[in-house]
Amino acid sequence: MRAMFHCDGPPGRDRGAVLLFVLLVVLALAMVLTAGIEGLGLEETGARVQRNRLRAEALAESGICLAAFLLAREVSGSGVVHRGQVWSRFFHDPQLRQTFFDQNTVEGAAILRLFADDVLRVEIQDESGKIPINALAGANFEIYKNMLLALLQSSLFHLSEPEALRLIYALRDWLDADDTTFSSLGNNQIVGAEDDYYRTRQAPYRCKNGPLETLSELLLVRGMTVELYNGKNGQPGLKDLLTVWESRTININTAPAPVLRALAWRLDEVRGNAFAQAIIDYRENRFHTGSLEKPGWYRTMLPEFQDVLLPEGIMSLKSSHFTVTATARAGATTVTRFASLERIRPEVAGWHTIKVLYQGLRAPSASR
């Protein structure tokens, strides 16, 4: 599904009037639909289930609209993106939400109550802070190979160097357009995987030889396991650290700790983890938000790491791709909607255009 959200009007419009209008329209639609169902004379229990599902779907849809509205707002003319901004804080900060909705009005109180009662939960993730896996087949292969090698060998995944390289080369073969198996040089040769491997599987299939369209396609690649993909013991998996939506750069202002550690692959494990934690600690200090807009802040503001060499060519302070997960509850029914959004920066300071790249009741899954 592809669509466009475009917000016109001055950025300073009071108390989120456009946002309030969108939410009220969606909620009103839910009430009209549920009233129609009741009028059909359906059996009472069935009608209640249908009514709750429609309400939950409408609420989840309103959560997606709300996230798109927040991402469309232009906060800074620089275009820099960081987690101190409204799009990141809104759903976790009750005081911030009250600057958008007047709790002394019937409408504002009703909407704020949705969050207070945990009826609606929304999470926005900056995909531009993750490792763009499709770039592994591009001109910066060596950079991304080294990043993935550091990530897979870290305490998060515990792969040996041969195991990690075998998976990385298989990923490269899955992504690149040729049918030649990628391999390392030297006596201890490590090879990837092409059709000759995948055709021997119990349920044979072809090597894709093209970019991933969904992250779950990783599970089709030789060497990938469910544990690597999902993570274990509450720790993030590759599905949380890689992205198919971004293809160019990594935003150091929003990258999670394992990605920051991978960016500093030249450091040993202890100092690399210390570097990642220092970045996160600095970003989370609300008095540092102004510094986050300065190129190279991680070097000038963290003098103990000023000698760290990072791959400048793939790093950024800006973001263009976000994913939104909205979960809504109505009675005993819970519905989750997922959307991938691209934020297109305006030519002049103002509101962004938000393009919907994908939207559905769940994240997209692999197909073959």
pLDDT tens for 180-238 read: 999 876 656 889 999 999 999 989 999 999 999 999 999 999 999 999 999 998 999 99
Q: Is 301 exposed, middle or buried (0-12, 13-18, 19+ CB in 10 A)?
A: middle
- Grade residue 365 by pLDDT with cuts at 50, 70 and 90: low
Would you say 128 and 81 are in contact if contact means Cβ atoms under 8 Å apart?
yes
Query: What is the greatest pairwise CA distance in the chain?
Result: 76
pLDDT tens for 237-266 read: 999 999 999 878 999 999 999 999 999 999
Q: Is 102 exposed, middle or buried (0-12, 13-18, 19+ CB in 10 A)?
A: middle
pLDDT computed for residue 14 by the predictor: 44
Q: Could you give the 3-state DSSP secondary structure of residue 102?
A: coil
The neighbouring-strand residues paired with 183 are 191
Q: So what CATH class is 131-316?
A: mainly alpha
Residue 85 is encoded by which pair of tokens? 């901004």
Contacts of 51 (CB under 8 A, 6+ apart): 34, 37, 38, 330
pLDDT averaged over every residue in the chain: 85
pLDDT tens for 99-148 read: 888 888 888 888 888 888 889 999 999 999 999 999 999 999 999 999 99
Mean pLDDT in residue range 62-86: 85
Task: Give residue for tokens 């990043």.
Answer: 147
pLDDT computed for residue 344 by the predictor: 87
> Which is more confident, 350 or 258?
258
- pTM: predicted TM-score of the whole model, two decimal places: 0.84
Mean pLDDT in residue range 13-34: 52
- Grade residue 12 by pLDDT with cuts at 50, 70 and 90: very low
Mean pLDDT in residue range 305-319: 89
Domain boundaries along the sequence of the chain: 51-126+320-361, 131-316
pLDDT higher than threshold 80 for residue 347 = no
pLDDT computed for residue 361 by the predictor: 77
